[in-house]
Amino acid sequence: MSRIDISKKVLIITLFIFAVLTAAFTLTHSMQVSNILELEQNDTLKNVERVQNAVSTEQRYLDYMVQDWACWDDTYKFIEDKNYKFIDVDIQNQTLTGIKVNLMVFINNAGTVVYAKSVDVDTGKEIPVPKELLKMVEGGNLLTKSENDTIKGFVLLDKDPMFISCHPILTTKYQGPSRGTLIFGRYFDKALLQDFENITRSSLLMYRADLDMPPDFQNKLENFSEATENIVIERRSKENISGYFEFKDISGQPALIVRVDFPRDLYLSGEKTLNQMYLFLLLTGLMIGAGVKFALDRLFVSRLVEIDDFVTKVRSEKDISKRLTLEDNDELFRLAREINGMLNEIYLAEQELKSQEREKKVLLDSLNELVVFVNPDLNIIWANKAALEYMKKGLQEVVGLCLKSAPVISDLSENMQLEQIFVTGSKKSGESTSKDGRVWFVQGLPVTEENGKIIGILETCREITERKTAEKLLQEKQIAEVANRTKSEFLANMSHELRTPLNSIIGFSELLHEQAYGELSEKQLRAVGNISKSGNHLLHLINDILDLSKVEAGKLELNYKDFDLATRLKTIQNLLSPIADRKNIRIEIDMDSKLNSIRADEDRFIQIMYNLVDNAIKFSYENSIVKIGARKKENMVEITVKDTGIGIKAEDHIKIFKPSSQVDSFSSKRSKGTGLGLSLVKQIVNLHGGYVWFRSSPEEGSTFAFTIPINGNKESNGNIGLNQKT
């Protein structure tokens, strides 16, 4: 589709132009030839007319001569008197020779020949008067009828045809009456014909119509009436053209047919010139055609072929680093430059595409998700690193495999019906569990071309086992929380119902103990004392349970008010001093002088402090000190309760703030508690927007501490307890 075609097209165009030119030349040629033929026809007509004129001139000469002789007094007289002197003087042989007249016949009015004489004008000798002529005279054919009547024309005599001119015989002054007819004759013989040939410079051939004629003459005889000016032109050969015309006799019948032959010089030289011109033009056309083709091939086609070859080579070798070099600063050069520019841009675009592809590959390879790209037949085209690792195969091994039969990964998309993506055009997703028990989120995305045609599917598989487990746990936790809240609500209600009878038990047992209803034995007193103690313990327990339940049920509301911190700490000291005194323990307060009033739920604050200080006393050895510390930390107040008691074992630290966590059996034996105190402390502190923690070592003692905002603003997030070990 390269070299041959374009060159062929140029050849066809050249040939077409050449053919059109040739047709134009041929048309012009034939027009010119017909022009020449017309010219030749007209020229021949003129030449024939010249011959006709020459013959007519001869006839007119004879007419003139006969008129001259017939209208002459001597002749007029001679017819009457037959004076032979006239003959002797005026009608000598030389006279006839001189005026080139062959025959003279003098006829009187009676039709009798007065005198007749015939001479050979070439030799000057007298010859007999032709008898046929005299017969015609006798027949009266040649006699004039009036003074104005003349007869002229040819007569066909046996020897030769003859010009005849007859005139009435009148006086010199052309007066009548006519005394007869004078006939002059002139033979139209070969000599005269020769004269005509010489005058007209043509070749003449003459036949008598009363004798046999060659066929062409015979032929023309019938056509004269239709011809222009009675001349028939015939091109008899390539070299000769002939004109035919006829002479009529005196009775108007065809007498002589004359053919004038001319060489076709005009036609031949015209045709020659035309042919030369035609040949010259053809040759010029051929040379121009060949030259144009050569020039086009060299200047245009060969360079186009060069460009075509270059483009084909670049395409077949897929090598876009090649560049085209063309010379001349014309359109082809610019085309080559544009091709080079395009190649540059393709090269750059290819590089960019490659780097983008690399980036994409790196990106996809870095994903934990399995990514597989399949074609419309679901055959794998590409898979990322994670997918290959999952399949335990190399890329080359899996490319071309059908996704449905590919190792391991086929299980994940088993129920996905990915083919439907090609019908619906929208993505499909679902969950799938692999044989090893892992849960996967599988998604198939249609990959489309710019026109929207789907060319493949990008399948991604993300493992969601952990998320699934977490979701399950969360669900379980939510169920547990609901159950817990229900339990707390139940406990709150129950505690309330329990306290009413319990208050009555405590009240009456105390009344009994104080012996308000009469004296009791020591054993009874001890029993009633136990009832009262157990009742109080139970009440304390129920109160704690109620508070905790309220907190857990979200129903415990704080009653904020401003109060003096020092006063409240003193209150605690006073409240618990009697218990401390029993073990000879001193309660000391060390308070930051900058602290005075704080804003919190006063009752709950006392409850917290009571619990902590009570615990400190409970778990301290005798003769020791419990220190209460209070200091300002930015906008928080930090309260510490420090003892030098039994301390808490490291393994128990984690349980401390959980409900019912009496960490040591021996301590519970020694100091009765509910096991709910600390967890209540934590909840109340948290409700205030503070947090609680402790430090403790066995046999060295413990320090419990908490912070709450000074002005009651829950700006600090202290919802979690922070256990710290020493």
Contact 597, 711 (CB under 8 A): no
Spell out, one character per residue from 541 to 580, where the chain touches ligand ADP: x when CB under 6 A holds, - when not.
----------------------------------------
Of 677, 668, 664, 670, give the one whose Cα is nearest residue 704.
Answer: 677
User: In angstroms, rounded to a whole number, what is the distance separating the alpha carbons of residues 492 and 514?
Assistant: 32
Segment interacting with ligand ADP (CB under 6 A) among 74-82, 108-116, 298-306, 611-619: 611-619
Q: Which long-range contacts (CB under 8 A, 24 or more apart) does 549-555 make?
A: 549/488, 549/489, 549/491, 549/492, 549/495, 550/488, 550/492, 551/680, 551/683, 551/684, 551/687, 552/484, 552/485, 552/488, 552/683, 553/485, 553/488, 553/489, 553/492, 554/485, 555/492
Q: Between residues 517 and 666, which has the closer beta carbon with respect to ligand ADP? A: 666
**CA 499, CA 512: separation in Å to the nearest integer?**
20
Site for ligand ADP contains 624 (CB under 6 A) = no
| Cβ atoms < 10 Å from Cβ of 506 | 19
Question: Taking phi first (over 0 means left), then psi (-120 to 50 degrees means alpha), and beta for anything else, what does residue 604 get?
Answer: alpha
Closer residue to ligand ADP (CB): 165 or 607: 607
310 contacts: CB under 8 Å, gap ≥ 6: 322, 324, 339
**Residue 115 or residue 621: which is nearer to ligand ADP going by CB?**
621
- Quick one: 406 or 648, whose CB is closer to ligand ADP? 648
Per-position b or e across 319-345, b if 16+ CB within 10 A of its CB = eeeeebebeeeeebeeebeebbeebee
Query: CA-CA distance, 326 to 358, in Å (whole number)?
Result: 37
The distance of closest approach from Cβ of residue 703 to ligand ADP in the complex, given in angstroms and rounded to an integer, is 8
Residue 458 C-beta: closest distance to ligand ADP, Å: 59
Q: To which H or E segment does residue 576 belong?
A: helix 565-582
Q: Decide whether 403 or 676 has the Cβ nearer to ligand ADP.
A: 676
State in angstroms the smallest separation of the CB of 537 from ligand ADP.
10
Residue 674 CB, shortest distance to ligand ADP, in Å, is 4
Q: State in angstroms the smallest separation of the CB of 618 from ligand ADP.
A: 6
In the region spanning residues 636 to 695, those forming contacts with ligand ADP, defined by CB under 6 A, are 643, 645-648, 656, 661-664, 667-668, 673-678
Residue with structure tokens 């510490």?
640
Instruction: Give 534 or 661: the residue with its C-beta nearer to ligand ADP.
Output: 661
Instruction: Transcribe 500-553 into DSSP letters.
Output: HHHHHHHHHHHHHHTTTTS---HHHHHHHHHHHHHHHHHHHHHHHHHHHHHHHT
Q: Which is nearer to ligand ADP, 271 or 643 (CB)?
A: 643
340/661 with CB nearer ligand ADP: 661
Residue type (1 letter), 574: N
Q: What are the phi and psi torsion angles at 123 (to 5°)?
A: -95, -20
Pairwise CA distance, residues 15 & 290, whole Å: 9
Nearest-approach distance from CB 616 to ligand ADP, in angstroms: 5
Nearer to ligand ADP, 150 or 667 (CB): 667
Write out the H or E segment, with its range, that includes residue 9. helix 3-70
What is the C-alpha separation between 384 and 364, in angstroms, rounded? 6
User: In the set 14, 165, 702, 707, which binds ligand ADP (CB under 6 A)?
Assistant: 702
Nearer to ligand ADP, 220 or 682 (CB): 682
75 residue type, one letter = T
Peptide bond into 161 cis (omega under 30): no
Number of residues that bind ligand ADP (CB under 6 A): 23
* Cβ-closest position to ligand ADP: 673
CB of 573 to ligand ADP, least distance (A): 17
User: Using an 8 Å Cβ cutoff, are 249 and 155 in contact?
Assistant: yes
Per-residue mark of binding to ligand ADP, 42-71 (x: CB under 6 A): ------------------------------
Q: Which helix (H) or strand (E) holds 722?
A: strand 722-723
Residue 319 or 603: the one with the smaller Cβ distance to ligand ADP is 603
Q: Binding segment for ligand ADP among 405-413, 559-567, 608-616, 715-723 (CB under 6 A)?
A: 608-616
* Nearest residue (CB) to ligand ADP, 270 versus 721: 721
Amino acid at 221: L
Compute the least distance from the CB of residue 653 to ligand ADP, in Å.
10
**Shortest spacing between CB 511 and ligand ADP, in angstroms:** 27
The least distance separating ligand ADP from the CB of residue 480, rounded to whole angstroms, comes to: 23
Contacting residue, 183, 274, 580, 616, with ligand ADP by CB under 6 A: 616
Long-range contacts (CB closer than 8 Å, 24 or more residues apart) made by 147-150: 147/176, 147/177, 147/178, 150/63, 150/67
Options 101-109, 165-173, 517-525, 613-621: segment touching ligand ADP (CB under 6 A): 613-621
Residue 171's alpha-carbon distances to 78, 176, 179, in angstroms, are 11, 7, 9
Question: Closest CB to ligand ADP among 162 and 572?
Answer: 572
Distance separating alpha carbons of residues 394 and 397, to the nearest angstrom: 5
Answer yes or no: are the C-beta atoms of 402 and 412 closer than 8 Å: no
User: Smallest distance from the beta carbon of 723 to ligand ADP, in angstroms?
Assistant: 12
| Least distance between ligand ADP and beta carbon 641 (Å) | 8
Residue from 619, 691, 693, 706 in contact with ligand ADP (CB under 6 A): 619
* Residue 652 Cβ vs ligand ADP, minimum distance, rounded to whole Å: 7
* Nearer to ligand ADP among residue 370 and residue 648 (C-beta): 648
Query: CA 313: distance to chain centroid?
Result: 24
> In the 8-state DSSP scheme, what is residue 92?
-
CB of 531 to ligand ADP, least distance (A): 21
Nearest distance in Å: CB 710, ligand ADP: 26
| CB of 436 or CB of 622, closer to ligand ADP | 622
Point out which residues bind ligand ADP (CB under 6 A).
611, 615-616, 619, 643, 645-648, 656, 661-664, 667-668, 673-678, 702
